Structure 1
Amino acid sequence: MIILVQPFKDLNPESVKFVTNEIKKIYPKIKVLEPLDLPKNAYYNDRRRYKADSIIKFLSEKTKEGFVTIGLTSKDISTTKGKVSDFGIMGLGYRPGKACVASNFRLNKEKNDEQLFKIAIHEIGHTQGLKHCPEKKCFMRSAEGKNPTDEEIDFCPKCKTFLKNKNWKFNLI
């Protein structure tokens, strides 16, 4: 599998570079694509944000077998959660799936790039089949409507074993 990083034009190129370099430390088979405009059909005018599931559908249609695409944006994104049709989120990925999306819109401005990496690797984990993890320091923990990324330090041993069984090498530098 190769991870494709699809930056959208709104995101700072330095953020894309940071996130990509951090992902490479865990999974080195990665390619950065040219920035694109966010899909117009994903825009939800009433709340001035983008529907994450529409972004994922757009990315999935462009993603070939053997690849997973992570879309990166600075725009506000949302999804339907329970009875809430427009719940603001930091990222979304389907389990399993071939595309996911992460946004830095709701993240701490001082730690923006670091937190965006953690959201991105979490969503990529979902595409590989990982569920939310009860371990509070694991990248796969549920955000539960908050931003717990400062507490996350790595995949826990159970999640790491799951990913190693999917040929992740964890080439930490």
Structure 2
Amino acid sequence: MVMIMRICIQPVGDVNDEILKFLKKKFGEVFGMCEILPKIDIPIYAYNFSRGQFNSTLILKSLPTVEDIVLGVTEVDIYADNLNFVFGEAELFGKRALISLARLRPEFYGLPPNKDVLKIRALKEAIHEIGHVLGLIHCENKRCVMSFSNSIIDVDLKDWRYCKKCLKKLQDRGIYISI
């Protein structure tokens, strides 16, 4: 049984269209429905000049609130309080999540660009943050998409799917997805 839910992808600033379309396709397969909303501007007040990064919480709070889950996708480097950076942030049991593509790009680490690597990393972090919106916390299983990623190596090591334990938690809440 697959629960049909709608994920709205919200570009925040200019975002690579190919990545957005890839996420839309995968979310349609996993969650049931997905649409890409018109781009919104990155809130200038979220920029921290001393860090040279954007505050993820402020961007997250700027995302529209709708009936569906909204996943903000941005290209800018983000951080959360007390952390040097984050790949994303979400409202636990909320409606909004955010990912940044900045540190998911191989070129951030001095490597050649690789769209396939970027796509799978973006998918992992997006499904991870949506997991938080659905009420999942970090998982101890390092292969589970809900495992905490402290580095890009952690992102690369985990799968893009929820482990059996996390899937069971979702099912216990009446959430059935196609993974």
Tell me which interval the TM-score lies in, with the shorter structure as reference length. Answer: 0.7 to 0.9
1:158 to 140, 145, 165: 165
Q: Give the aligned partner of residue 75 of structure 2.
A: 74
* Cα-to-partner distance string for 1:55-102 (whole Å, 9 max, x where unaligned): 11111xx212x3211100111000112xx5xx2111111212211110
Report the RMSD for the aligned CA atoms in angstroms: 1.8
1:129 to 131, 135, 144: 135
Task: Return the offset for 1:125.
Answer: 0.5
Indicate conservation of the 8 Å contact 1:107/1:147, yes or no.
no
Indicate conservation of the 8 Å contact 1:122/1:140, yes or no.
yes
CA distance in 2, matches of 1:147, 1:42: 27
Task: Return the offset for 1:23.
Answer: 2.0
TM-score relative to the length of structure 2: 0.84
CA distance in 2, matches of 1:48, 1:118: 25
Q: Could you list the runs of 4 or more consecutive aligned residues of structure 1 that deviate by over 4 angstroms after TM superposition?
A: none
Higher strand share: 1
TM-score relative to the length of structure 1: 0.86
Task: Give 3-state SS (helix, strand or coil) of 1:29's partner.
Answer: strand
1:113 to 119, 125, 132: 119
CA distance in 2, matches of 1:147, 1:123: 18
Task: Return the offset for 1:103.
Answer: 0.7
Task: Give 3-state SS (helix, strand or coil) of 1:170's partner.
Answer: coil
Does 1:56 find its partner at 2:57?
no
Count how many residue pairs are aligned between Structure 1 and Structure 2: 165
Q: Give the aligned partner of residue 97 of structure 2.
A: 100
CA distance in 2, matches of 1:43, 1:114: 27
